Chain A
Amino acid sequence: QVQLQESGPGLVKPSQTLSLTCTVSGGSISSGSYYWSWIRQPAGKGLEWIGRIYTSGSTNYNPSLKSRVTISVDTSKNQFSLKLSSVTAADTAVYYCAREQDWFDYWGQGTLVTVSS
Chain B
Amino acid sequence: DIQMTQSPSSLSASVGDRVTITCQASQDISNYLNWYQQKPGKAPKLLIYDASNLETGVPSRFSGSGSGTDFTFTISSLQPEDIATYYCQQYDNLPRTFGQGTKVEIK
Residues of A within 8 A of B (CB): 37, 46-49, 60-64, 96, 98, 100, 102-105, 107-110
* Residues from 29 to 75 in B contacting A, C-beta threshold 8 Å: 32, 34, 36, 42-46, 49-50, 55
Whether the pair A107, B44 counts as a contact (CB closer than 8 A) is: yes
Residues of B within 8 A of A (CB): 1, 32, 34, 36, 42-46, 49-50, 55, 87, 89, 91, 94-101
Which B residues lie within 8 Å of A46 (CB)? 87, 98-101
Whether the pair A103, B89 counts as a contact (CB closer than 8 A) is: yes
CA distance A37 to B94 in the complex (A): 12
Task: A61-B95, A102-B91, A105-B46 given; name 7 further pairs at CB < 8 Å.
Answer: A47-B101, A60-B95, A64-B95, A103-B46, A104-B44, A104-B46, A105-B55
A-B contact count (CB 8 A): 53
Which B residues lie within 8 Å of A100 (CB)? 96
What are 25 residue pairs bridging A and B, where the CB atoms are less than 8 Å apart in the complex? A46-B98, A46-B99, A47-B89, A48-B98, A49-B96, A49-B97, A49-B98, A60-B94, A62-B95, A64-B95, A96-B43, A102-B32, A102-B49, A102-B91, A103-B34, A103-B49, A103-B91, A104-B44, A105-B49, A105-B55, A107-B43, A108-B43, A109-B42, A109-B43, A110-B43
